[in-house]
Amino acid sequence: MNEDRQIHPLVPREGWHVMHLFYHIDHGQWALLSGEERREAKTNLTELVGEIRATPDTHLLAFSIATPKADLGFMLLTPDLQVANQYEKQLSLSLGPDILTPVYSYLSQTESSEYTTTREQYAEETLVAGKGLSPGSHEYESALAEFDERMAGYIRHRLYPVLPDWPAICFYPMSKRRSGTDNWYSLPFEERKKLMAGHARTGRTYSGRILQLITGSTGLDEHEWGVTLLAKDTIDIKSIVYEMRFDEVSARFAEFGDFYIGMQLPLDLLFRRLCL
Ligand code: 76R
């Protein structure tokens, strides 16, 4: 028998794996622990979070969930699914058996977009047709260099994001409709691209107020994308989602799963918030 016990890493060719994990706390079980056992449990979770956050290319957001839909949430980003799986199992057990009960979870991957504006497109449509610049001119070249730099940063953010500690986090899964004349997947690429450009225009008006991370989940989970929005004011979450509903991409094609709202907190405050 092959006794090769090496675990084969599952690192995508590009991007990282992403897990959204939501738990209920069983306060009945927690009440059975002694003060010493509770301290140990919290130390255990704190050490695990520290270990995860010290892992290269790995990020862990921890938050308290608003409303009894869930109590505690984590968003884990890491390249290797084997590592994500190991951390996820450890997180579930970190406060001891039967304390954390998973209530919802979502698996996705960071991805670049097929609708991103290409260099050629930007040059032709924006610089030549839009601004009347001639190729080769100083202005044209410097605008193009600026575009290259902005896009490199943008693509890096989509594939290898570092998320800010903004207090409000919103997560929901979504899919594009596939019914009758509203089948996103039977539209030609050019039409989808045009529709997505409208979507992006709306999105960009929230720059600095909403940080959005769209992660792909076709073949990985129930819906097609996970939507993660970070904000400093919940009104920006409410208004971007409302405004997007009027945008054709969402109005005609979007289908949504459950919404979760959380608050990112340092661990000591998180424990206090969760009455642990
Ligand atoms: O400029 C670019 O090239 C990128 C533009 C862009 C893409 C490709 C973009 C911009 N999004 C893209 C893709 Mn988005 N987004 C959502 C939601 O609630 C709803 O109705 C929809 C949920 C929000 C709130 C949002 C916000 N986006 C996608 C995709 C993948 C589509 C596909 O591949 O078919 C989905 C599912 C999706 C959904 N989007 C933006 C935003 C915001 C705020 C922006 C501007 C980001 C910025 O420029 O900083």
Q: Is residue 166 part of a domain?
A: no
- What separation in Å is there between the alpha carbon of 133 and the centre of ligand 1? 29
Confidence check: pLDDT of 2 > 60: no
**In a domain? residue 130:** yes
Mean pLDDT across 131-138: 94
Q: Please, which residues have CB within 8 angstroms of residue 227's CB and are 6 or more apart in sequence?
A: 170, 171, 172, 173, 174, 212, 213, 214
Task: Indicate if the pLDDT at residue 123 is higher than 60.
Answer: yes
Number of domains in the chain: 2
Q: Which domain holds residue 139?
A: 114-160
**Pocket lined around ligand 1, Cβ cut-off 6 Å:** 113, 115-117, 174, 196, 199-200, 203-204, 206-207, 210, 212, 214, 225, 227, 229, 240-241, 244-245, 250, 254
* Percentage of the chain lying above the pLDDT 70 cut: 99
CA of 244 to the centre of ligand 1 (A): 9
Q: Is residue 226 part of a domain?
A: no
Residues carrying an active site annotation? 172
1 pLDDT band, cuts 50/70/90, is very low
Mean pLDDT of the region 202-213? 96
What average pLDDT does the structure give for the chain? 96
Give the pair of three-digit tokens for residue 3. Answer: 């006794």
Task: Tell me: do 39 and 22 sit in the same domain.
Answer: yes
Sign of CA dihedral 11, 12, 18, 23: negative
Residue 223 Cα to ligand 1 midpoint, Å, equals 16
Q: Once rounded to an integer, what is the mean pLDDT over residues 102-127?
A: 93
| Phi, psi dihedrals of residue 100, rounded to the nearest 5° | -100, 125
Rg of the chain over Cα atoms, rounded to whole angstroms, equals 22
The least confident of 69-73, 116-120, 139-143, 213-217 is 116-120
Note if the pTM is more than 0.75: yes
- Dump pLDDT digits (tens) for 152-188: 998 999 999 999 999 999 999 999 999 998 999 999 9
Residue 238 lies inside a defined structural domain of this protein: no
Q: How confident is the model at residue 4 (pLDDT cuts 50, 70, 90)?
A: low
Query: Is residue 53 located within the same domain as residue 28?
Result: yes
Domain boundary among 110, 127, 149: 110
If pLDDT is split at 50, 70 and 90, which confidence band does 36 have? very high
